[in-house]
Amino acid sequence: MAARARWVLIGVGLLAAMGAARADDVTLYAPRPFGYVIGDTITLSADVALDPSLKIDPASLPQPRPVDYWLDLKAVRLTDRGTREGARRYRLDLVYQTFYAPLEPKRLVIPALALAAVSDDRRVELAIPPWSFVMSPLREIAGGSGEAMTPRPDIMPRPIATRRALMLSFIGLALAALGAALIGWQRGWWPFHRRRDRPFLRAARSVRAAVGLSPPDYDTALLALHRAFDATAGERVFAEDLDAFLAAHPGFEPARHDIARLFTASRDVFFAAEAGAAQQELPAERLAELAARLRAIERMAA
């Protein structure tokens, strides 16, 4: 197995010669092999080239674990790089962390790893070769007569610039409030509930319904409009109050003539008992038109 694996130790930055990769080939790319101290992480990368019919068996991959008392395997990443130049290629990254505390520079070995590749009918054993490196102590052991090593002072906390984040938060909050207000306005929630009360909208519906009956219910239609005027003014509006009403609600001014006719007709119906005269003054269909017009004015004013 070791004979089939060709392993190369190459410094970082020297990985060009990949053309020679053959099928079922493992090439290990490793960092510098010296100058490590306790706690350092070492990332080994292995390029695996396999016969296209083979796939790495996921079950054979190593799990992150303590490998030795001084060595942890922290992470394993397998990247499928597809089929190229007649071989299926994988990249396997292995992250180790060393906790060995040497007294003097010492060579250590990360042991080999076994992998397996499988196809439908066969199974091929592969191996990531072992790799050795030199670890150094953090400080001298002998002749430590000088002053004791003291921990360096803590790094002063460095304030993080938050101005931009704050600005963004405020802008976001403002936008959210604006959005909530828009929704409230559209839905007629408090404090926009008054907007929702559109007396002429209701009146126009009632008038349409009343006029649509056969025969048209003229009195009900008139009453509906009266109630809408009352609700708009906040008090009862009589014919003689028309000027005051229009002064308070100038939006209705263009309809003055028709409103005056409405009040005349209403007087005929309710106080002179001359329904015929009223219908002549303002036929039921015109009443529906007037209601629609008043509703439109109300919507413009809202």
Partner 1 sequence: MGLVREMDTLLSDWRGRALRFESEIARAVLGQERIIRLLTIATFARGHVLLEGDVGVGKTTLLRAMARAIGGAFERIEGTIDLMPTDLIYHAHLGEDGKPRIEAGPLLKQGEDLSVFFFNEINRARPQVHSLLLRLMAERSVTAFNRDFHFPHVQVFADRNRVEREETFELPAAARDRFLMEVQVAMPTDPQVRRQLVFDPRFHDVDTLVMSVESGVLDPDALETVARAIQLGVSASPTLEAYVLSLWAAIRDPSDYGIEVAGVDMERLVLGGASPRGMSYLIRAARVRAWLAERSMVVPEDVRAVFHEVMAHRIFVDPAYEIDRERIVAALISGLFARVAAP
Q: Residue 236, interface with partner 1 (CB under 8 A)?
A: yes
- Looking from the CA of 110 toward its CB, the CA atoms found within 13 Å total 27
Q: Residue 85, interface with partner 1 (CB under 8 A)?
A: no
Among 182, 273, 296, 301, interactor with partner 1 by CB under 8 A:
273
Among 70, 189, 238, 245, interactor with partner 1 by CB under 8 A:
238
Pick the closest to residue 33 from 11, 5, 8 (CA basis): 11
* Residue 51 vs 219, nearer CB to partner 1: 219
* Residue 227 vs 249, nearer CB to partner 1: 227
* Residue 136 vs 279, nearer CB to partner 1: 279
Q: Residue 278, interface with partner 1 (CB under 8 A)?
A: no
Among 40, 230, 281, 289, interactor with partner 1 by CB under 8 A:
230
Instruction: Find the angle CA(45)-CA(50)-CA(56) to the nearest 5 degrees.
Output: 70
| Stretch of residues binding partner 1 (CB under 8 A), selected from 22-30, 33-41, 82-90, 229-237 | 229-237
Pick the closest to residue 67 from 131, 13, 153, 5 (CA basis): 131
The three-class DSSP label of residue 199 is helix
Contacts 24+ apart (CB under 8 A), 233-241: 238/263, 239/263, 239/264, 239/266, 239/267
| Stretch of residues binding partner 1 (CB under 8 A), selected from 65-73, 154-162, 188-196, 225-233 | 225-233
Q: Residue 272, interface with partner 1 (CB under 8 A)?
A: yes
Report the distance separating Cα 288 and Cα 252, nearest Å: 16
Among 85, 104, 235, 253, interactor with partner 1 by CB under 8 A:
235
